[in-house]
Structure 1
Amino acid sequence: MTTKPNASRREFLRAASMLSLAGSAGAPFALNLATIGAAAAQTAPADYKAIICLFMAGGNDHVNTVLATDPTSWAEYQRLRTTSDTDSIALPSVGAAGGVLPITPKTAQAGRSFALHPSLQPLKDVFDANRVAIIANVGTLITPTTLVQYRARSVSLPPKLFSHNDQQSFWQSSLPEGARSGWGGRMGDLMMASNSSPLFTTISLTGNTVFLAGLTVNQYQVSSAGAIPINALTGSLFGSGAGANPLQAIVSADRTNLFEKDYATVTRRGIEAQMTFANAMVAAGPAGVPNPTQYTNPNSGQLATNPLAVQLQTIARTIAGRSVLGAKRQIFFVNMGGFDTHDGQRKSQGDLLARVAHALAYFDGLMGNLQGVNLRNQVTLFTASDFGRTFTSNGDGTDHGWGSHHFVMGGAVKGKDIYGAFPVTGLKHDLDVGSGSLLPQTSVDQYGATLASWFGLSATQIADVFPAIGNFSNKNLGFML
């Protein structure tokens, strides 16, 4: 017998104790031995599927992203968000110059009408084409919680609410800052046996992230330029082109010392992985994956390069090379900062959402015809963020909130609809925890579990990945086919 079961048991106890510190009474957190064995033994699926997390770091203001526009809601929105001609964060009405964009969800919510931020026109087009859904009022929860319970602290609550670092971590891992694994990585643990090369199961385009940290799987980090080589193993070394090969021999040669031997083994694997990944990626440009157009900055009217679109192009180039990588299941992570809009929100969020909409519409087009193949049904992108923001304005911005609205995009999405009851517009209602900050009605675990089910995880595996899912009666929100 190997020592792996003991290591797994220790990992189980460690993670379980961390969950206890978070105050959860949820299901077991770490991967149990039976689940690991089942994952390793499963037959690789015949199809390909990918999930992409777009994390909007800083806390996106959901109130100006998806809006209720029925007369009662709109009047209250304008009353609370109109401050002065120069500082107001209230958006113009439907039909006005630069006004909000009306949408018609398939499922009516009595007496309500809705719209999107004016910068989201490219995303609205995909919504209208049935490939984008809106998930209302999602947030970090351990158990269903009422306003009375929140105020009395009579149920377990996520630790350190309204804190950037802790809520980013809880969104991505179900644990506060310091977590060692995320739910994307734990899904990767279970699905990596589907891939002939497990190393390319979880891929980050924004450095090390807790979302993709697994108990077994290691996230592979790339840049928009592709695989990241070890410095000086390509090109010149101290001005000499002859130094790369000797350096590679030095850092990867076998050793007798056990620590040096292990280091050299890891280095060789890294070099081989970089070469494999670089060879698998399809080229960018007309002969491969088309380059994104520039987007229009809504504040200046000027065209500019959209870094998020370039990141999504890198993902598309990777997906196009899936056969070379031997990949059947992949999870990607991209991060976009700037959403902490305490001031200057109207201009800054307008530009941020313009980039999001431009990039997502571009990626939707790529998936519709990736080297002659329609992969929309096999690739799903979802948004996440630290938290929502307050309904009230602090002058020309908003402060940290809790629940928020999010988008899911893909051909397998039951799109052109809003899932979950859209909250009351305004203050002092039964979901207002202060200044219009929303008490979430849908947990991140429910949101993620719905994606995981589409990805191919069983109910038992989902319970291992999402520690508190057992506390919620509705474990699948129904937005995926």
Structure 2
Amino acid sequence: MHLPPSSRRQFLGKILAMAGSGSVPFTLNLAAMSSAAAEGATDYKAIVCLFMNGGNDHFNTVLATDSTSWSDYRRLRTTADSGSIALPGIGATGGVLPIVPNSPQAGRSYALHPSLQPLKTLFDAGRVAVLANVGTLVQPLTLAQYKAGGVAVPPRLFSHNDQQAMWQSSQTEQAGSAGWGGRLGDLLASANGNSALTCVSTAGNARFLSGRMVRQYQLSGASAPPISRLTDNLFGVPASANPLRQIVTGDHADPFQKEHAAVAARAISSQAAMAGAMLGAGAAGVPDPLPYINPNTGQAAVNPLALQLQTVARIIGGRNTLGLKRQVFYVSLGGFDSHDFQARNQADLLAKVAHAMAYFDNALANLQGNDMRKQVTLFTASDFGRTFTSNGDGTDHGWGSHHFIMGGAVKGKNIYGSMPVTGIGHDLDVGSGSLLPTTSVDQYGATLASWFGLSATQIADVFPNIGNFSIRNLGFMG
């Protein structure tokens, strides 16, 4: 019996649900939950994960500037050599940029890195919020519990690969599990006319978008390139009789060949739909990003992150052509592992992040004549934070970190979560000022999932640790 792809996915989900295997808890009743989640998806919404690969130094991204905090900051981050990572103060040339949250914290004041002027503008306009000290957690944890052991802690802390995997999937790299963006896609793909375009990466294969049933669509550049020579004259054979399509998509008895052919057929179909939407109505009103200014050289340059977000905007522009209601995107920028040359390198990286986010906000503000900012929410993520103390020219791997959420549905101009004491030796310091997180990635993601339309039961399936936390919605979404 031959079933179309959508029917095969539903059949597989029902079989796995009936099997009730303990090794696949997420797939239990997945088909039923997917249908229920999709029924309510009548509008369009998208979530965009901006991942800063390497571990961004959050202490120089969002800073406390009240006199006590600033004194400790300058004392601990200023070194005698030219490798000092302390930033100049408010009002100084190239100094940090003050922000005033709607909910002030007594005795505290805050600022952003000097490269983040576009984000300060968006923060002041109420379209960007800060989430303080968020990181990988299995359950709430105190410093005493962490030091004593015996309480569940994310495995292999401070490891790039493992903590990237934990951020993106709630499991370590070795576990090989689906990402939480992909698990969102599993539940909502049936709302889309083309379910193959539910999860889209512009940055290669991403753990974040790997689902149990949904497969991520990967592309780069301004359009989706086709398989080469598929419709050309080939070795003297006219295009009308080109056998390449039949060769790469033909049916096979061998299961590996059969699966390869199915992947190729899906890629051909998806590419045709995606390219048509992106180069047609989807491209209209999506301008090319202007160059960003490298703060170290003053030179204008192409921003690769802005180009990724341009591709995302074009796909969103083609949402109606593609029949899409819910999408999850992944974009990324590397280079944040700042053991050396941090002051120079981070200034350039954060300038790219801020420029790209501001460009994306502007592109969505008038996409084919529609303001799509309330329908699209972008959030930042990274491997981990970094140590507060300097190694002389940079910082080492940490744990908790501060992040940004941007969009018209975001309750912006505020700092959510618990902003830690500045310095070292406090009750969240796990070593060298590295922060014990006070908010979990599961809580971060669950808040976005709630806005996306998932029920409490569905959220618990997407985020396996959320039941360990009393607060499951952090309140930063409208």
Q: TM-score range by the shorter chain?
A: over 0.9
Q: Find the aligned partners of 2:45 and 2:12 in 1 and give their Cα distance.
A: 33
Which residue of the other structure, out of 215, 219, 222, is the alignment partner of 1:222?
A: 219
1:193, distance to aligned residue in structure 2 (A): 1.4
Q: Kindly report which structure 2 residues correspond to 1:52-91, keeping only aligned pairs within 5 A, or say none.
A: 52-91=48-87
Aligned to 1:281: 278
Which residue of the other structure, out of 115, 119, 122, is the alignment partner of 2:115?
A: 119
Say if 2:42 and 2:325, in contact at 8 Å, map to a contact too: yes
1:154, distance to aligned residue in structure 2 (A): 2.9
Change (3 A) 1:127 1:260: same
Q: Find the aligned partners of 1:31 and 1:58 in 2 and give their Cα distance.
A: 32
Say if 1:237 and 1:244, in contact at 8 Å, map to a contact too: no
Aligned to 2:266: 269
Amino acid at match of 1:7: L
Aligned to 1:188: 185
Q: Find the aligned partners of 1:318 and 1:244 in 2 and give their Cα distance.
A: 32
SS in 2 for 1:30: helix
1:245, distance to aligned residue in structure 2 (A): 2.8
Change (3 A) 1:83 1:236: farther
SS in 2 for 1:63: helix
Over residues 371-428 of structure 1, what are the superposed CA-to-partner deviations in whole Å (9 max), with x where a residue is unaligned? 1100110000000000000000000100000000000000000000000121000000
Change (3 A) 1:323 1:244: farther
Which residue of the other structure, out of 435, 439, 443, is the alignment partner of 2:440?
A: 443
Aligned to 1:21: none
Change (3 A) 1:234 1:304: farther
Q: Does 1:357 pair with 2:354?
A: yes
Instruction: Write out the 4+ residue segments of structure 1 that deviate beyond 3 Å after TM superposition.
Output: 1-12, 234-244, 253-266, 282-288
Which residue of the other structure, out of 127, 135, 138, is the alignment partner of 1:139?
A: 135
Q: Find the aligned partners of 1:272 and 1:376 in 2 and give their Cα distance.
A: 29
Q: Find the aligned partners of 2:134 and 2:307 in 1 and give their Cα distance.
A: 28
Q: Does 1:367 pair with 2:376?
A: no
Aligned to 2:7: none
1:324, distance to aligned residue in structure 2 (A): 1.1
Question: Please, what TM-score do these two structures have when normalized by structure 2?
Answer: 0.93
CA RMSD of aligned residues (A): 2.2
Say if 2:282 and 2:315, in contact at 8 Å, map to a contact too: no
Amino acid at match of 2:362: G
Over residues 430-461 of structure 1, what are the superposed CA-to-partner deviations in whole Å (9 max), with x where a residue is unaligned? 00000000000000000000000000000000
Amino acid at match of 1:60: N
Aligned to 2:43: 47
Say if 1:283 and 1:289, in contact at 8 Å, map to a contact too: no
Which residue of the other structure, out of 158, 164, 168, is the alignment partner of 2:160?
A: 164
Over residues 325-362 of structure 1, what are the superposed CA-to-partner deviations in whole Å (9 max), with x where a residue is unaligned? 11000000011100000000000000000000000000
Q: Find the aligned partners of 2:297 and 2:201 in 1 and give their Cα distance.
A: 32
1:125, distance to aligned residue in structure 2 (A): 0.5
Change (3 A) 1:118 1:241: farther
Aligned to 1:93: 89
Q: Kindly report which structure 2 residues correspond to 1:229-248, keeping only aligned pairs within 5 A, or say none.
A: 229-233=226-230, 245-248=242-245
Structure 2 spans left out of the alignment, 5+ residues: 1-9
Amino acid at match of 1:13: G
Structure 1 spans left out of the alignment, 5+ residues: 16-28
Q: Does 1:322 pair with 2:322?
A: no
SS in 1 for 2:380: strand
Change (3 A) 1:333 1:287: closer
Amino acid at match of 2:62: V
1:246, distance to aligned residue in structure 2 (A): 2.9
Change (3 A) 1:149 1:306: same
Q: How many aligned residue pairs are there?
A: 467
Q: Does 1:13 pair with 2:22?
A: yes
Change (3 A) 1:2 1:140: closer
Question: Please, what TM-score do these two structures have when normalized by structure 1?
Answer: 0.92
SS in 2 for 1:55: strand
Change (3 A) 1:2 1:226: closer
Say if 1:82 and 1:90, in contact at 8 Å, map to a contact too: yes
Change (3 A) 1:117 1:257: closer
Q: Which moved more, 1:355-364 or 1:238-247?
A: 238-247
Change (3 A) 1:261 1:97: closer
1:9, distance to aligned residue in structure 2 (A): 6.2
Aligned to 1:209: 206
Q: Kindly report which structure 2 residues correspond to 1:96-111, keeping only aligned pairs within 5 A, or say none.
A: 96-111=92-107
Amino acid at match of 1:175: Q
Say if 2:162 and 2:172, in contact at 8 Å, map to a contact too: yes
Aligned to 2:386: 389
SS in 2 for 1:452: helix
Aligned to 1:474: 471
Say if 2:33 and 2:458, in contact at 8 Å, map to a contact too: no
SS in 2 for 1:102: strand
1:242, distance to aligned residue in structure 2 (A): 5.3
Q: Find the aligned partners of 1:206 and 1:106 in 2 and give their Cα distance.
A: 35
Say if 1:44 and 1:195, in contact at 8 Å, map to a contact too: no
1:289, distance to aligned residue in structure 2 (A): 1.1
Say if 1:252 and 1:264, in contact at 8 Å, map to a contact too: yes
SS in 1 for 2:93: coil
Q: Does 1:399 pair with 2:408?
A: no
1:180, distance to aligned residue in structure 2 (A): 2.5
Aligned to 1:25: none
Q: Find the aligned partners of 1:479 and 1:437 in 2 and give their Cα distance.
A: 25
Q: Does 1:30 pair with 2:39?
A: no
Which residue of the other structure, out of 325, 330, 333, is the alignment partner of 1:333?
A: 330
Change (3 A) 1:43 1:4: closer
Amino acid at match of 1:306: N
1:293, distance to aligned residue in structure 2 (A): 0.2
1:369, distance to aligned residue in structure 2 (A): 0.8
Q: Find the aligned partners of 1:363 and 1:71 in 2 and give their Cα distance.
A: 35
Q: Which moved more, 1:225-234 or 1:372-381?
A: 225-234
Give % identity.
Answer: 63
Say if 1:11 and 1:30, in contact at 8 Å, map to a contact too: no
Say if 2:115 and 2:347, in contact at 8 Å, map to a contact too: yes
Change (3 A) 1:142 1:254: closer
Say if 2:81 and 2:392, in contact at 8 Å, map to a contact too: no
1:252, distance to aligned residue in structure 2 (A): 2.5
Q: Which moved more, 1:227-236 or 1:374-383?
A: 227-236
1:251, distance to aligned residue in structure 2 (A): 2.0
Change (3 A) 1:118 1:283: farther
